[in-house]
Amino acid sequence: MLQVERVNTFYGKIHALKDISLTVKEGEIVAVLGANGHGKSTLLKTVCGLLPPNSGDILFCGTRINNLPMHKVVKMGIVYVPEEKNLFQDLTVKENLLLGAYNSRARKDREKNLNTVMELFPRLGEREHQIVATLSGGERQMLAMGRGLMSSARLILIDEPSVGLAPSLKADVFKKIREINRERRITVILVEQEVASTLAISDRGYVMKDGRIVYEDESSNISIEIIQKLYLR
């Protein structure tokens, strides 16, 4: 579904991604692991069109998407759920969800997608008329993922969904990501610091260090000890 081939991305003079190559097959959950500041979020932003790569190729279902603006990437079915959430705090839950269906491909399925989101996250249905600023951290994270699903996503890029959540809420978020993948048949790239929980729900994993991919394998073969050794060498 997704091919990233020798991609380099810069922030000004800072070389953030260095010859990154990876693949994502349809139906997978692919984990991207590593310490903060080593390029994981930059990778997601580059794939979704928020940051243009300086070189290399990104192909989605065989189509080169390097130079497409972000709204066209979304229309093709790639959605980025950022760590910052970027929700509209003064709008209601339902209003935020409906804003996720702004592209023409998603608009025709708006009601169907809204029902899907409410089934997946019943708490959002209970709070659909509530102002977002009054929601808990876990509810806001569910809303962020739900708004991404409203765009008729085929590939969803989720950035640090468990940050700042209580342990019980973290477990629920990981469960929902697995449901999105297994039951809704949506492919997922997941960037996370919670290594054990991420490996438990993912199919394959990549480890990043200093803007490079330094290790890849099936998730069942990756351990915390392996990652620690990679960062100590």
Per-residue pLDDT of 110-168, as tens digits, reads 999 999 999 999 999 999 999 999 999 889 999 999 999 999 999 999 999 988 888 88
Residue pair 162/174 in contact by the 8 Å Cβ criterion:
yes
Structure tokens at 33: 């692991």
Residue 233: band (very low, low, confident or very high) from pLDDT cuts 50, 70, 90:
low
3-class DSSP state for residue 194? Answer: coil
The average confidence (pLDDT) of the chain is 93
Return d(Cα 100, Cα 74) in angstroms, integer.
Answer: 10
Characterize 91-111 residue by residue with b for buried, 16 or more Cβ atoms within 10 angstroms of its Cβ, and e for exposed.
Answer: eebbebbbebbebeebeeebe
Chain position carrying tokens 């260090």:
209
* pLDDT for 39: 94
Residue 36 predicted with pLDDT over 90? no
Contact 89, 158 (CB under 8 A): no
In CATH, 27-38+68-232 is 3.40.50.300: yes
Residue 67 Cα distances to 46, 52, 54, 59, 205, angstroms: 10, 7, 10, 11, 27
The predicted-structure confidence for 90-105, as pLDDT tens digits, reads as follows 999 999 999 999 888 8
pLDDT of residue 231: 79
Q: What is the largest CA-CA distance in the chain?
A: 52
pTM of the model: 0.93
Backbone φ, ψ for residue 41 (5° rounding): -65, -35
